[in-house]
Each structure stands twice: as C-alpha cells, then as structure tokens.
Structure 1
Amino acid sequence: MYLEHFGLSELPFSLTPDPGYFFRYSEHQEALNVLLVALQGGEGFIKITGEVGTGKTLLCRTLLDALDDLYVTAYLPNPLLEPLDLYRAVATELGLAELQWADLHSLLNRIVEHLLRVADSGRRVVLCIDEAQSMSDSGLEAVRLLSNVETSKRKLLHIVLFGQPELDERLAGRGLRQLRQRLAFSYRLSPFDLDGTCGYVSHRLKTAGCQKPLFSRFALRKLHRSSRGIPRLINVLGHKALLATYGRGAEQVGRTQVVAAARDTEDVCSGGFLGLRRFF
C-alpha cells in the first residue's frame, strides 16, 4: 500500500480502537481524568456519552489500559442482553465461567461473593459497558441492581456506561430515574474543532512513524469541514486521501484528494466534484 511511499511504519488511520493512538486533546483527556478520579474516589456509577464516532470505545480501551493492578476489570462490548444473559456475561468476564448454566438468583449470589473476595484482597472491580444505549430497560435495571452491592464502607462494583446521546434520552425517562439518580459523574464528548482536527491528524501520523507533514493546511481545513470533526470520519477520509495521493505519486495530501475522499464516503459534507476513481 502507501506505507513505504510516505515513510510510515503502520496505517495511521485505522478504525481499530488502539489505545496507543489515544489523542490527549482537551476534552478526551478531561474525560479520561474524570473517569480516573471518579474510580479512585470509589464512585459507583459513571456515564460517558457522545455522538457516533467521537471516540468512546477508544476512551474505554484507554481507561482499561490505564488502570493498574489494584483494579479488576470487566468489559462488555455488546450489552444487548436480558438480565440473565447479562449476569452470565459479567460472570464470564470476572472469570466465573462455571456459572454459565446457573439461574438468575444463583448467578447474582456468586457474583456478589466474588466481589466480596476481591474487596477483601484490597482491589476494586470496574465494569465498563460499551454501546449502553442499546440496552433494554430490564438490562439497565439489572445493572443498577448490581451497583447496589456494597459494604458499609465502599462500593464493591464500579460501573462505567459508554453510549450515544440516546442513552441520555433513555435515562431521562421516569422508569429509569433510580439509575439516573445514582450517576455520580457524567461527561459528554464533542467533535474536534479545527485545531483539534489538525492536532489529531498530526498525532496519528507521528504515532505511525511519519517524520514530515503529509497534509497541507488547505487539506486539513477541508478534512475538518467534511468530517465535522468526528474522529472516525477523520480516519476514513484520511486513509482515502492518502490512497488518492499515493495514486498520483504525490508526496503531500492536498485539498483535491480530501474532496475526492469525501465524495467517496457516506455521511460527510463532500462539497466537491471528484471521486477516488479519478486518481487510479
């Protein structure tokens, strides 16, 4: 592909949520700080929301990597489960795989026993739930009941919900007011502004081994406008723009290549006239 042409060691705009590419821009770094402070303070429920593609999953993976041996972590990437299957998934993440055929009552009791043992060892358990907006009301209520597990001194389970803005709308309903009232900290991720987009592109290129600017300032402005500052769309457009530039044998991405990438991509503000086929 274009790696050797641009002097890159790996693809800079991969969609895989690699914590090594976490961009410590103001909002994302602040969100990570909020999570770390809240967990260190022993808070039971934390919520992070943001539009599609704003980096919630990468933030979650970065959080899990940042937690030291004082924490036992569990991660549910697909929580579209009813209470019994949800508890089974949590049990599996906690290493209690032998409980897969237990009933709801037995599962909950064994999970609580495990949480007590972990607490006695001086450690804390953190459960991160991604795509939480897709959970059923009964699933969210099951999570709330898990958060009730505590001693007279501390919570035994810390839960972080990552979701799209629809999660906020769900929690605003009367039926989930008990869960809403338990949220100790909330944070909402926003798309990047122009400076954030420029810094994000520079960070990813440097992390991938780039030693020189690959995008002109006009290309960066167009990239920001087309992507609306959404990291996932920046990645998609950045990759396609590099392909188009490579196809021309050029050394730097110009505005024309970003226009071509935008014309070839769904859900962006294209505003151009060329497609990628123009360059191959």
Structure 2
Amino acid sequence: MYKAHFGLREQPFGITPDTSFFFACPSYQEALNTLLIAVRNGEGFIKITGEVGVGKTLLCRKFMTTLGDEFVTAYIPNPFLEPRALMFALADELEVSLEKDVDQHQLLKSINHRLLVLARAGKRVVLCLDEAQAMPLDTLEALRLLTNLETEKRKLLQIVMFGQPELNHKLQQEAIRQLNQRITFHYHLGPLNKDDMEFYVSHRLSIAGYTGGRLFGSSAIQAMYASSGGVPRLVNILSHKALMLAYGEGKHEITARHVRAAARDTGAARNKIWFLGWLAAAALITVGTSIGWAYFK
C-alpha cells in the first residue's frame, strides 16, 4: 500500500506479535531479564502482568525464542480451559502419546514420565500461559499441582503466566492462596513513556527498512502520545493509519494532523471522546441538580 512511497520493505506497524520488531527499551529488557533469570534459577512460578496492548504476548514469544537449547517450551495461548483440557493441551505441547479415553491418573502419569525423560536428557521444561487472567480457579489449582512434579534436585516443570491485572485479583482469592505463595518472580509491564515511544516508532521503521530522514515530526509524536498513552498496540494502529493518510495526500512527513485524524478514526479515541462527553453531561446534571435544590430550599 504505502511501502514503496516511504521506502519500506514491510509494514512497520502490524499488530501481530513479531519478535523481529522487539523493542528493548529499559522496561521491556528488564522484564525479559527477569524471566530469563527466574527460569535459569529453576523457579517454579513466574508472573508477568500488564494492561491490554502493552506487549505481553510479544514479550512471551521473545522470551521463548531467547531460551537456549537446554530448554523445551510449551505455549498455551488461551488457557480458558477446565483442568483436564489443560492437561491435554500440555500433553500435546510436549508430544506425549496418549491412549484413547485415557483417565486422569494415566494422563498425569504420562506427562510426568515425559518430563522425567526430558530431565534425564538435560532439558528444562517451561510452560508459558498467555491471557492467564481467563483461567478458572479450579484450573489454576490444577496448575499448582503440576509444579509438585519434581526430582530430588529440581522442578520438572516451570510455569510462566502472562495476564492482565485482573490476574492479581484472582490470585488473591482464598481458594488458591497456595499458588499465589509460590510465585517467586513478578514483573508488571507498563506503557511506554514519551521518549521510549518516540524511539519505539523509529525502531520499527528502521526494522521495516526505512532509511530516510525523520518521518514522524515532534508534533506528531506529541499527538501520538496524547492519543495512545504510550500503549504499543495503539501506537501501532495510529502510526499505520497516519502513514496511510500521508500516503493518500502524497506527503512524506507525518504531522500532528495526520495522527489526530487517525485517532478520531480509532475506537479507543472515540471511547475517550465519549467518556469526556459523559463527564461534561454529568457535570451539567450535577450543576442543574444543585441549582434546583437551591431554588426549592
């Protein structure tokens, strides 16, 4: 679409997690280091939280690709599963051969056997669960029981949970307090600050093949930060739309006008405008009510 116009090899602002675009700003690098240190220390449970769109899935994939050959990874992107279904998903990821109509005992025994085989081969197994806030409580408890599988030396299975902040509230419930106590490493991934967001935009353009001068002017960056709050997914959406608008006009620089137009066309921006309108209406109602009460006193 606009790749040739801006001298790009590929689209720089796709919303599909692509590890080649991973941006190692201080907070993202710290989160990645936390994960690597934790699994190399053999910790049983690790938790990464963050709001929608901050890049948890991309961090998860970058983490898995960074691990060395001594690790075997299992990835479950949608853990909204009952306990038995979770066990089957793990068995599938670990390439466990199962008999038809296997019972719960044999299922767990087969997983344990596979983990022991991998441990004897010098492998460590890491299970990564994305969108972990969606897990039912009984499934979270089954997850805790999986970490009881161990040798005399170390855990046979390490678990990393990636989830929205609702995961923290769920883990505070009395029914799964034992699991919460086993989480030894935790990191909260926040949005980018304005400077990091500017580097983020330049980084993605560079990875996509851009070699020209400054494409997003300072006013465009300011408008981008105001509209996105530094949330990478929103930055990607707004940047992509702003590039489309500039291309349509035959321009080679993105201005604040392009970004604001992109924001008006984006759901998050519309929600923000609606919210501000709601606040204004609420304020008018409050003032009107106060006047009415004053009149009838």
* Bin for the TM-score computed over the shorter chain: over 0.9
Residue 72 of structure 1 aligns with which residue? 72
Return the index of the structure with the highest Cα Rg: 2
Residue 216 of structure 1 aligns with which residue? 217
Which structure 2 residues correspond to residues 135-174 of structure 1 after superposition, within 5 A? 135-174=135-174
Alpha-carbon shift at residue 174 of structure 1 (Å): 1.3
Q: CA RMSD in A?
A: 1.2
Give the partner amino acid of 1:259.
Answer: R
- 1:225-249 superposed Cα distances (whole Å, 9 cap, x missing partner): 1001000000000100000010110
Structure 2 gap segments, 5+ residues each:
274-297
Structure 1 gap segments, 5+ residues each:
272-280
What is the DSSP-based 3-state SS (H/G/I as helix, E as strand, rest coil) of the residue aligned with 2:267? coil
CA distance in 1, matches of 2:140, 2:100: 20
- 1:147-189 superposed Cα distances (whole Å, 9 cap, x missing partner): 1111111011010000000000101111111000000100000
**Identity score, percent:** 53
Residue 260 of structure 1 aligns with which residue? 261
| Contact 2:141–2:179 (8 Å) recurs in 1 | yes
Residue 200 of structure 2 aligns with which residue? 200
Residue 128 of structure 2 aligns with which residue? 128
Give the partner amino acid of 1:5.
Answer: H
What is the DSSP-based 3-state SS (H/G/I as helix, E as strand, rest coil) of the residue aligned with 2:160? strand
Which structure 2 residues correspond to residues 16-165 of structure 1 after superposition, within 5 A? 16-99=16-99, 101-165=101-165
Comparing 161-170 and 212-221, the one that deviates more? 212-221
Q: Tell me the TM-score normalized by structure 2.
A: 0.89
| Contact 1:91–1:99 (8 Å) recurs in 2 | no
Q: 1:57 to 1:101 in 2, by over 3 A?
A: farther
- 1:161-218 superposed Cα distances (whole Å, 9 cap, x missing partner): 0000000010111111100000010000000110011011011000000112210110
| Contact 2:98–2:110 (8 Å) recurs in 1 | no
Residue 226 of structure 1 aligns with which residue? 227
Q: Tell me the TM-score normalized by structure 1.
A: 0.95
What is the DSSP-based 3-state SS (H/G/I as helix, E as strand, rest coil) of the residue aligned with 1:185? strand
Alpha-carbon shift at residue 97 of structure 1 (Å): 4.8
Give the partner amino acid of 1:229.
Answer: G
Equivalenced residue count is 271
Alpha-carbon shift at residue 8 of structure 1 (Å): 0.4
Give the partner amino acid of 2:225.
Answer: H
Residue 276 of structure 2 aligns with which residue? none
